[in-house]
């Protein structure tokens, strides 16, 4: 008798979308066990009597990703059982997530929202997109249907994701141009992919660097050219567990690296950073402690806030943010003023 095929992996976008839908649909909230055993993307891997540790870690990362998107995820303690994490309930309060009652949509706007939903109709979110269309229809506003004839394609991941995924399946060695921060031009890397993992909203490739015969982790956003699949193959000594080991390493790095920043109250930086940071003390809510994985990724973000953020530590991050401000200033000084006759 043949064993049933393992369930196909559920894309992360579908899992997060399904989680948001589930948490919106309940007023009293769901426990972690209820989420893992029933929500699309978790239930396929859930074991009622087995070890769900990796699934539990996945849910913890998904909670962070949802909050980073600005979605108000609440935790509710069970009365009479405070401090018990197993009885904690999670929910997204509809009052904070729904649009204000004074916002209305025109027929054209409804059509454009419907168009956004149809983007997913041919992909893995077809069922959820149908629910979204039903919700739009329930508003009771007629739409300009001719607009729906145009259905764009949306790419959620970097363009390197698909060729790397295929190379993983074939155990094929690949090459790609990789640009590290501070380098003037990319360098061609030759690697054997081991796992593709998402950590705090960014995709990483865990791979064996064939030039040095050591494991490396690459940010997909720094792959700046086509991924070329070679005819060479490579099998690692350990054939399973690469994704779990990569995520554990990234989690450990994120936990060990802490930045302390000061934010201007009431600014965009204060609003965004406070969602994933914690105050260094109860008396100073504008000084935040922030975990991070990559110093340059965080430096790019903090520099984008301009004077709204001051980095206090570590010194390497402070210097990286300052260097970005200096570069921005110099570029503005070098640029000729529009309409100015320099002849």
Judge whether 102 lies within some domain.
no
Give the residue with greater pLDDT, 100 vs 279: 279
Same domain membership, residue 265 and residue 230:
no
Same domain membership, residue 224 and residue 176:
yes
222 C-beta neighbours (distance < 10 Å), count? 20
Boundary (domain end) residue, out of 86, 118, 149: 149
Among 43-57, 222-236, 329-343, name the one with the lowest average pLDDT.
Answer: 329-343
Same domain membership, residue 328 and residue 308:
yes
The C-alpha atoms of residue 213 and residue 228 are separated, in whole angstroms, by 19
The whole-number pLDDT of residue 147 equals 42
Boundary (domain end) residue, out of 184, 208, 242: 242
The C-alpha atoms of residue 273 and residue 305 are separated, in whole angstroms, by 10
What is the domain range of residue 137? 107-149
The pair of structure tokens assigned to 62 is 């998904």
Judge whether 2 lies within some domain.
no
Same domain membership, residue 266 and residue 232:
no
Phi, psi at 268, each rounded to 5°: -60, -40
The pair of structure tokens assigned to 68 is 């980073």
291 C-beta neighbours (distance < 10 Å), count? 18
Judge whether 91 lies within some domain.
yes
| 4-30: pLDDT as tens digits | 445 556 777 778 888 888 888 777 888
Same domain membership, residue 93 and residue 17:
yes
| 21-63: pLDDT as tens digits | 888 877 788 888 889 988 888 888 888 888 888 888 889 888 8
Judge whether 6 lies within some domain.
no
Same domain membership, residue 24 and residue 70:
yes
Same domain membership, residue 214 and residue 143:
no
For residue 1, what are the CA distances in angstroms to 4, 6, 7, 8, 190?
A: 9, 15, 18, 21, 43
- What is the pTM (predicted TM-score) of this model? 0.56
Q: Does residue 250 surpass a pLDDT of 50?
A: yes
- The residue whose two tokens read 């992360």 is 12
Q: What percent of the chain has pLDDT over 70?
A: 74
Judge whether 25 lies within some domain.
yes
Task: Provide the domain count of the chain.
Answer: 4
Domain holding 218: CATH number?
2.30.30
Same domain membership, residue 16 and residue 92:
yes
Same domain membership, residue 236 and residue 171:
yes
Judge whether 50 lies within some domain.
yes
């Amino acid at each position: 008798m043949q064993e049933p095929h393992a369930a196909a992996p559920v894309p992360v976008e579908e899992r997060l979308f399904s989680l948001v839908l589930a948490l919106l649909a309940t007023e009293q909230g769901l426990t972690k066990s209820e989420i893992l055993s029933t929500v699309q993307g978790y239930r396929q891997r859930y074991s009622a009597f087995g070890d769900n540790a990796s699934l539990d870690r996945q849910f913890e990362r998904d909670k962070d990703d949802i909050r980073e998107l600005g979605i108000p995820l609440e935790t509710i303690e069970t009365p009479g059982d405070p401090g018990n994490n197993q009885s904690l309930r999670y929910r997204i309060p509809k009052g904070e997530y729904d649009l204000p009652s004074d916002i209305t949509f025109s027929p054209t706007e409804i059509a454009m929202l419907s168009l956004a939903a149809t983007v997913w109709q041919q992909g893995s979110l077809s069922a959820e997109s149908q629910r979204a269309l039903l919700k739009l229809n329930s508003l009771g506003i007629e739409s300009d249907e001719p607009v729906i004839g145009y259905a764009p394609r949306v790419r959620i991941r970097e363009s390197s994701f698909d060729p790397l995924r295929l190379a993983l399946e074939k155990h094929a060695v690949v090459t790609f141009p990789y640009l590290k921060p501070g380098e003037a031009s990319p360098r061609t890397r030759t690697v054997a992919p081991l796992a593709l993992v998402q950590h705090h909203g960014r995709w990483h490739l865990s791979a064996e660097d064939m030039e040095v015969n050591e494991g490396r982790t690459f940010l997909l956003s720094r792959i700046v050219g086509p991924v070329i699949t070679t005819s060479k193959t490579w099998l690692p000594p350990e054939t399973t567990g690469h994704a779990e080991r990569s995520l554990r390493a990234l989690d450990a790095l994120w936990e060990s690296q802490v930045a302390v920043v000061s934010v201007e109250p009431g600014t965009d930086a204060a609003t965004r950073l406070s969602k994933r940071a914690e105050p260094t003390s109860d008396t100073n809510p504008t000084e935040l402690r922030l975990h991070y994985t990559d110093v340059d990724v965080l430096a790019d973000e903090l520099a984008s806030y301009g004077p709204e953020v001051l980095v206090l530590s570590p010194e390497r991050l402070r210097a990286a943010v300052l260097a970005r401000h200096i570069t921005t200033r110099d570029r503005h000084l070098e640029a000729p003023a529009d309409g100015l006759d320099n002849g």
